[in-house]
Amino acid sequence: MLSDILNSLLQVIVFALIPSLVYLIWFRQQSSYFEFLGIKRANFKANALAAIASLLFLVPPLVLVAVDPQFKSILADPETITGKFAALGWHWTTVISILFIAVIKTSFAEELFFRGFIAKRLIA
């Protein structure tokens, strides 16, 4: 579990390194770092719509787990993240670790690099 958390932090650092260097070299005078990456506070409506969309997209995988034994066996495979956590058991530390990996490693690192950096450069 600790290695997964450290791996998540390392991935965020690596994914932030390239945009940070580009910002420091070429864009430092034009905008703040967070504006450069497109990081800003969302309003209540955007957060509510994101929560509703998340719940809607959660239903099909849950149905697949309940209905399809092959899908369930894939998730239980010890080589997958869900299989590793299933082997650990459901404890509060496991849940925190899952949330940390899902939010920091998967979501934040990818959004930071691909949407915040690459997409903005391609659009410009």
Angle 75-9-100 from CA coordinates, rounded to 5°:
45
Q: What is the mean pLDDT of each run of 10 residues along the chain (124 residues)?
A: 79 85 87 82 92 92 88 83 76 79 81 83 80
Show the domain range for 81: 2-39+68-123
The pLDDT of residue 52: 95
Q: Return the biggest CA–CA distance within the chain.
A: 56
Distance in angstroms (rounded) separating the CA atoms of residues 15 and 8: 11
Q: Which residue, 122, 113, 119, 117, is CA-closest to 11?
A: 113
Q: What is the pTM of this model?
A: 0.57
The pLDDT of residue 56: 94
The pLDDT of residue 123: 82
Any domain includes 44: no
